[in-house]
Structure 1
Amino acid sequence: MKSLKLILSNPRYFGAAWVFTSINIWFGTWAIYIPTVKEKLGIDKADLGIALFCLSLGVFTIIPVASKFINKIGVGRASWFGVVGVTATAMLPLMAPNYNLLMAALYLFGAGNGFIDIAINTLVTEIEKEDKQNFMSAAHGFFSLGGILVGLGSFLIPVIGSPVLHMGITVVLVFILNLYFRKHYIHIVAAPVEKEPFSLKLFKPLLLLGIIGFVSFGSEGAIIDWSGLYLKEMTMAPELLIGAGFLAFSTTMTLGRFLGDGISAKIGPIKIVGLGAFIAALGYLLVLTQHTTLSIIGFAFNGLGFSVIVPELFRIGGNVKGVDSSQGVAFIAGSGYIGFLLGPVILGFIAESASLRYSFMLLLGMAVLVMGVTFFLGKKRK
């Protein structure tokens, strides 16, 4: 909890952490209105899927060029420009009068989200280097906090009565806070890195980190999409408990991220990734018992395990020798997004052709794979 106190007591850290919260507030507020947009435009699920793919396409389009732009203008200014960019595009999907403009709006919104994600993770990496303080995990905890705020804000939907107005109020409030705190980080630039020519030796640690990112993001996406169905079909959970798995996962995810920095400072970033994978694997073993209570506890273990992995990946990726911090973070982000998008799809195919239980067996295998990769990374560092 030291890093949480650090963020709450110092505007230099809170300003960056609030951007993480903002990202989830922007995206989460859009997400709760997806059914409304679908009904308003009269599109079917296939059309909606294509539109959402445009959002993902926007993310992937920006990833290859983000690091160059961040290095050119400075990571602090890039983070602020990212805030302005997403503020300008957040309302567009809800205002789109037709399907084609919806796809265009989601593409721009996705590009903005992809850029700010890379910029703010790079910014936190640079602040950690300058101040010799760990708060990356707690900053990601603030991202999870953004989801909680969106959930609480959803109770205002009947009162506000308009998706555009709801998003407008949200955008203005979030922007005002970002505007106030930007002065504490906008001047920060990335420390110069002594670059090395491309080689397999240089690429190998990034590749291993990318594998962990792919698996971790993919597992998170799978649990978000499939935990409720698993409890319903595989454990025969009553209707009241179908959402309990995701709630347990989200709660321990938030808690773990606020605790992660202190543990990382004591045992190191690679060991904590291995520990997180071990805890997640134990969670999958409990989920696979197909007992409702044990499965819910298993999802809680999953949240606790994965909570520390993603922040540490960005921290490690931003500190790879011979690689700009923004390039390392961009590589992790790209690998992770691919996993987040493809993971649920692959597991859905397995569930349809075999059983949802086999899907979660694969996730268990992936957690074990992460433990193996951290072993090789640890040996390499030694």
Structure 2
Amino acid sequence: MRSLLLIFSKARYFAPAWVFTSLNIWFGTWAIYIPSVKERLEIGKADLGIALFCLSLGVFTIFPLAPKIINKLGVGKATWFGVLLCSVTALFPLMAPNYHVLMASLFFFGMANGITDISMNTLVTEIEKEDKKNFMSAAHGFFSLGGILVGLGSFLIPFIGSPLLHMGITVAVVLLINVIFYRNYIHIVAAPVEKEPFSFGLFKPLLLLGIIGFIAMASEGAIVDWSGLYLQEITKAPEAFIGSGFLAFSFAMTLGRFLGDGISERLGSVKIVTVGAIVAILGYGLVLSEHTLLAIFGFALNGLGFSVMVPELFRIGGNVRGVDSSQGVSFIAGTGYTGFLVGPVILGFLAESSSLSLSFYALLGAAFFVLAVTFFLRSRR
């Protein structure tokens, strides 16, 4: 909780943390209006899937370019640039008059999300280096907090009555808060790194971190998408409990990220990822018991375990010897985001060809693999 108090006590730390919150508010507000956009433009599920792929394509297009942009502008200016881009492009999908404009709008919105994501994580990494303070995990907790705020804001939908007006109000409020605080980070630039000639030995730590990021975010995406169906079909949960797995997962993840920095200071980044993998494994054990209440508690342990992984991966990736912090963060973000998109799809194929239980056994096996990789990282360090 010390990092949470740090964020609320000094604008230097609150400013980047609010960018994390902002990103999830923009994206989440768009997400709750996906059904209404589908209905307004009279498009089918397959066409909608292609349009959403354009958003992902925009993210992946900017990832290779992000380090160059950040190093050219400075990480503080790049973060502010991302905030302004998101504020504008968040409005585009809800203004789209037809399907093709929707695809283009989502592509540019994805690019804005991508540059903001890389910039804000690099920014926190640089501030941590300068101040010798850990708050990366809490910053990711603020990202989760953005989702909660979107959920609360959804209750205003009947009163606002217009998706574009809702997004416009959201953008205005979020941007106003950013305008108040952006001067606290806009001057920050990444510390120069003594570059080394490329070698597999230099790349190997990033590769291992990328594998963990892929699995962690693939698991997160799978639980978000499949936990409700698992409770419904496998544990035969009552209808009122079907959403409880996702709720428990989200609450535990937010709590874990707010507590993670203090634990990381005591244990170290690699060791906390090890502990997170163990907690996630215990969670899958309870989920696979196929008992409703135990499974819900298991999803909570999954959220707690995975909550500390991704922030620590960004922290480690931004401090790899001989690699720019922006390049390290970009690599972790790229592999993790790939996992978040691909993971639920792979789980869907497994569920379709065999059973949903097999899908969660696969996630359990992946968590054991993460545990093994962390032991290798500890030995190398």
- TM category (shorter chain) comes to over 0.9
Partner of residue 26, structure 2:
26
- Deviation track 1:258-296 (CA, whole Å, cap 9, x = no partner) reads 000000000100000010011001000100000000000
| Deviation at residue 305 of structure 1 after TM alignment | 0.2
Q: What is the CA–CA distance in structure 1 between the aligned matches of 2:101 and 2:93, rounded to whole Å?
A: 8
Q: Is 1:83 aligned to 2:83, yes or no?
A: yes
| Deviation at residue 237 of structure 1 after TM alignment | 0.3
**Partner letter of residue 161 of structure 1?**
G
Partner of residue 311, structure 2:
311
- Deviation track 1:220-276 (CA, whole Å, cap 9, x = no partner) reads 000000000000000000000000000000000000000000000001000000100
Q: What is the CA–CA distance in structure 1 between the aligned matches of 2:59 and 2:197, rounded to whole Å?
A: 28
Q: What is the CA–CA distance in structure 2 between the aligned matches of 1:379 and 1:85, rounded to whole Å?
A: 42
Q: What is the CA–CA distance in structure 2 between the aligned matches of 1:58 and 1:278, rounded to whole Å?
A: 35
Q: Secondary structure at the match of 2:64?
A: helix
Q: Is 1:141 aligned to 2:137, yes or no?
A: no
Q: Secondary structure at the match of 1:64?
A: coil
Q: What is the CA–CA distance in structure 2 between the aligned matches of 1:114 and 1:213, rounded to whole Å?
A: 16
Q: Secondary structure at the match of 2:331?
A: helix
Partner of residue 123, structure 2:
123
- TM-score, normalised by the number of residues in structure 1: 0.99
Q: What is the CA–CA distance in structure 2 between the aligned matches of 1:182 and 1:23, rounded to whole Å?
A: 15
Q: What is the CA–CA distance in structure 1 between the aligned matches of 2:81 and 2:196, rounded to whole Å?
A: 29
Partner of residue 104, structure 1:
104
Q: What is the CA–CA distance in structure 2 between the aligned matches of 1:141 and 1:167, rounded to whole Å?
A: 23
Partner of residue 152, structure 1:
152
Partner of residue 339, structure 1:
339
Instruction: Summarize the alignment of residues 140-219 of structure 1 with structure 2, pairs less than 5 Å apart.
Output: 140-219=140-219
**Partner letter of residue 71 of structure 1?**
N
Q: Root-mean-square deviation (CA), in Å?
A: 0.4
Partner of residue 281, structure 2:
281
| Deviation at residue 72 of structure 1 after TM alignment | 1.0
Partner of residue 43, structure 2:
43
- Deviation track 1:104-143 (CA, whole Å, cap 9, x = no partner) reads 0000000000110000000000000000000000000000
Partner of residue 298, structure 1:
298
- Deviation track 1:58-114 (CA, whole Å, cap 9, x = no partner) reads 000000000011011100000000000111100100110100000000000000001
**Partner letter of residue 153 of structure 1?**
G
Partner of residue 66, structure 2:
66
Q: What is the CA–CA distance in structure 1 between the aligned matches of 2:83 and 2:172, rounded to whole Å?
A: 12
**Partner letter of residue 336 of structure 1?**
G
Please list every run of 5 or more consecutive structure 2 residues that lacks an aligned counterpart in the other structure. Answer: none
Partner of residue 270, structure 1:
270
Please list every run of 5 or more consecutive structure 1 residues that lacks an aligned counterpart in the other structure. Answer: none
